[in-house]
Amino acid sequence: MRYSLSHKQETRERLLQSSASSAKRSGFASIGVDGLMKAIGLSGGAFYGHFSSKDELFGAIVERELSQSLARLGGEGQPSLAQLERCLKLYLSMSHVEQAEDGCALPALGAEIARAEMAVRERAEDWMCRLQQRWAQALGSESLAWSILSQCVGALVVARMMSTPALQRQVLKSSHDEISRQIGQSSPQ
């Protein structure tokens, strides 16, 4: 039985969404094709009607997730410090620590992206550079934008490593306070 193009696109989107959530929660390498397909109610053989390999799926996940991160964190219109502060507050939050599957792909998949094939790394680089450029416009500093982006991702990784919620909160608050201090020092008085 042949499925319509729209059905195939819907299935592909469900597979991307489900696989991205699973990867951010448990790591991409730890999940097999059969498990990815079972999560959306299909057999493993159906996978190859959507992607030629698991690596191709990972590349699509990275592209999708980082484009969504840019939309959430980069905002629209002219970037501003107020917009950046709002993003930081959401990014460096306990809900982001506790719900990895719904959050940014960088803290959850960064190490796997670093080990991925060059094409995946290049796509991730493109999206990260776009976000950095948006933040650099708001901050008036290329290097401060890279620094803050790195601090945010690192703070989330460290907070997720901690087992104690109080310590997780301390990591997030300390990071937010330091980033806010840096932003305050860089903004015109």
Question: What's the pTM?
Answer: 0.84
Amino acid 70: pLDDT: 83
What token pair was written down for 66?
């980082």
Q: Which of 107, 116, 98, 29 is nearest to 65 (CA)?
A: 107
Amino acid 34: pLDDT: 86
Burial class (CB in 10 A: 0-12, 13-18, 19+), 147: middle
Amino acid 123: pLDDT: 92
Amino acid 30: pLDDT: 86
Domain boundaries, the chain: 5-186
Positions of the chain with pLDDT under 50: 189
Q: What type of residue is 162? A: M
Amino acid 45: pLDDT: 79
Amino acid 188: pLDDT: 56
Amino acid 189: pLDDT: 45
Amino acid 91: pLDDT: 94
Superfamily of domain covering 5-186:
Tetracycline Repressor, domain 2 (1.10.357.10)
The structure tokens 């390498």 sit at: 29
